[in-house]
Chains A and B, each alone.
Chain A
Amino acid sequence: MAKSNKPIFWGLFAAGGTVTAFVIPALALVTLFAAMRFNMDMFTYEAIHAFAAHWLGKLIIFGVILLSLWHAAHRLRVTLHDFGVRADTVVAYAVYGLASLGTLMTIIYLLRI
């Protein structure tokens, strides 16, 4: 039996699962507050732009988005199989393709900030 190449994706899945578990609920609460106009002074363009313009801010944003994307993509691949979708190769190309697209967009946007 040949050794699997799944570790490359599972490594990202596991790291991403940990990062998302720590940060996404709080981030979602912040964006929920923003959506509810909880405080109109928060979420200003200047403040967020300043954060994203700093190299450390860029690194944090890139790390969180990259790992969230690849965590979700890999789990979605498994979940679709669990729901009976057996075309695993097609599913893998689709979900990892979507994650690659998101990664690429993030890199481009960060470079332009």
Chain B
Amino acid sequence: MSERQIQLEVLRYNPETDSEPRFQTYTVPCLNEWVVLDALNYVKENLDPTLSYRWSCHMAVCGSCGMMINGEPKLGCKAFIHEYGDSIRVEPLAHFPIERDLVTVVEDFIAKLASVKPFLIPKEDKPTSAGEFKQTPAELMKFKQYTLCINCMLCYAACPQYGLVPEFVGPAAIALAHRYNQDSRDGGRDQRQEVVASDEGVWECSFVGACSEVCPKHVDPAGALQQVKVASTIDWYKEHLMPWVKK
């Protein structure tokens, strides 16, 4: 098995002693099939137990190990060492405050996610005895890709508008709102539009497209947001120019 010495530059920040973050370099003997997360685990186990970072599944499912690797938002568990040179720079996800080392403060994202009601709001309540809500494969296809979102926040770290305007509800939350709006069993769009169609909602997006480029699950939030803009624009024209048309 081939092994390679990697200079791992990690942004460190200790809130108890540091006034600002600083880089610390570790020399890590990496196996060729390792990912960056493996290198961080090596550091923690063998070189520096004080290093803090989040991870859980090591298989791109939990969405915990998002970090900037050479300036690009990546999952640490999906970034293979062999795709990089001998020096790799690791920083916490951009646009989020740093709690400690590579651990970021994610409350803002969690609050925004909750604000768009990312769950089924049935058109009408019906008792369990009335049977299941049926859905055809074509109806499922309308929103299926958005269900793959793992809330890893790479899209927020990639989105320059979120970095410039922190109030922006952002890619993943609006794409998930769109996912439920597109669901044939759902009737909650009007409630979600209160947040999604506001100035801080979809209208802060200028279709940079970076969110979709970095998504590790190949979801297309940028596309979802444009579709939301089209639908919200049709709503607006209907409401203001044709008020006699019932929704």
Report A-B touching, CB under 8 Å.
yes
The total of interchain contacts (Cβ-Cβ below 8 angstroms) comes to 45
- Which A residues are in CB contact (< 8 Å) with B233? 7, 10-11, 14
Count of A residues near B, CB < 8 Å? Answer: 14
- Any A CB within 8 A of the CB of B193: yes
Is A2 an interface position by the 8 A CB rule?
yes
Query: In residues 18-33 of chain B, which contact A (Cβ within 8 Å)?
Result: none
- Which residues of B are found within 8 Å of A11, using beta-carbon distances? 233, 236-237
Bound Cα distance A3, B199 (Å): 7
Check: A89 CB closer than 8 A to any chain B CB: no
A87 at the interface (CB under 8 A from B): no
Number of interface residues of B (CB under 8 A): 20
Contact A10 B198 (CB under 8 A): no
* C-alpha gap A82/B165 in the complex (Å): 11
Contact between A1 and B201, CB atoms less than 8 A apart = yes
Q: Which residues of A contact B237 (CB under 8 A)?
A: 7-8, 11
Interface contact B201-A10, CB-CB below 8 Å: no
Annotate B224-239 by CB proximity to A: 1 below 8 A, 0 otherwise: 0000011011011100
B34 in the interface (beta carbon within 8 A): no
B190 to chain A minimum Cβ distance, whole angstroms, is 11
Q: Is B150 an interface residue (CB 8 A)?
A: no
Residue-wise, chain B 190-207 has the 8 Å CB interface mask toward A (1 for contact) of 000111011111010010
In Å, the complex CA distance between A4 and B233 comes to 10
Cα distance, A86 to B41, chains bound together (Å): 43
- Across the interface, which residues of B come within 8 angstroms of A10, CB to CB? 203, 229, 233
A54 at the B interface (CB under 8 A): no
20 A–B contacts, CB within 8 A, in A order: A1-B194, A1-B195, A1-B200, A2-B198, A3-B198, A4-B199, A4-B201, A4-B203, A5-B236, A6-B199, A6-B203, A7-B232, A7-B233, A7-B235, A8-B236, A8-B240, A10-B229, A10-B233, A11-B237, A78-B206
